[in-house]
Structure 1
């Protein structure tokens, strides 16, 4: 499995209703995308302690599915509408999603650097335990992964209710969940 996210930082005076309407009108288009385990259509409004953001987050079954999406018309359309984004990817140490993942209304995401010479096996154990604890605390989906190019760690959670603000975590609203049937 591979996690993927790109993010568009929009101007402070950007009408976020445009993003919300786009999600409502087009979100269903990835509902049955081959190899997609889920896509969370995420946004954050400047008034909520964040920049104006449109930042979809994906969990892919395998890299070929991700490649098919990035080479396809959906990604071309979003790139033409908002610009050519950097696409971040992480291989997973842990992923869990509940059957009711489609009920997610909020997401939290943290990206942190991994210090040089960190014992990766120990870090992986800690992150898997933290991810499992989030699942037990009610997260509808939770994952932990890393990328060894820039050495970063991602923690991602989907929630039914808005979580308490957590320092270092970006909080998003979920406008749509594309989740193929299991």
Structure 2
């Protein structure tokens, strides 16, 4: 599995209803997309939940890398880049992905990107991250919890989906979930 996110920082005076409409209209098009664990259509408004910017930043969990490749080479991504430009697409190898059967109720998301110290014991870190992801869903109120690792920039990602937004730290980016594309049953 891999996880992926790209984002667009929009002007402070940008009409975010354009993003809301885009999510409403385009979101269902990825429902049931091959090899997709989920796609969370995310947005944040400047000043909301401590966000410094207006953002459109979808987050994906891919069950197989071919799903990401098919999406990035497909007409939907081509249309997106035609409208907003060519984004930097960040990817992480998934260490742990826990998904509640109630994931469809997600209304908020949080994302942390953390540095990994040089020569840190990666197996130990992976174990801690995995246990935390499991606990987030089992007892912490998260509807999904994904942790991943990227060895080019030595970063880790912690991504969570929530029904209610939890208290967040200064380094956490919070988003609204406008649509959640899931596999077809």
TM-score by length of 1: 0.97
2:59 aligned with 1:64: no
1:166 alignment partner, one of 166, 169, 174: 169
> Which sections of structure 1, spanning at least 5 residues, go unmatched?
none
Structure 1 segments of 4 or more deviating over 2 A?
none
Residue pairs, 1:76-115, within 5 angstroms: 76-115=78-117
- SS of equivalent to 2:183: coil
* Alpha-carbon distance, 1:167 to partner: 2.5
> Which sections of structure 2, spanning at least 5 residues, go unmatched?
none
Aligned residues: 182
Residue pairs, 1:11-30, within 5 angstroms: 11-30=11-30
State the match for 2:151 in structure 1.
Answer: 148
Mapped to 2, the partners of 1:7 and 1:163 lie a distance apart of 22
Mapped to 1, the partners of 2:160 and 2:25 lie a distance apart of 25
Deviations 1:33-79 (A, max 9, x none): 11111000000000212110000000001111110000000101111
Mapped to 2, the partners of 1:157 and 1:10 lie a distance apart of 23
* Alpha-carbon distance, 1:163 to partner: 1.6
* Alpha-carbon distance, 1:125 to partner: 1.1
TM-score by length of 2: 0.96
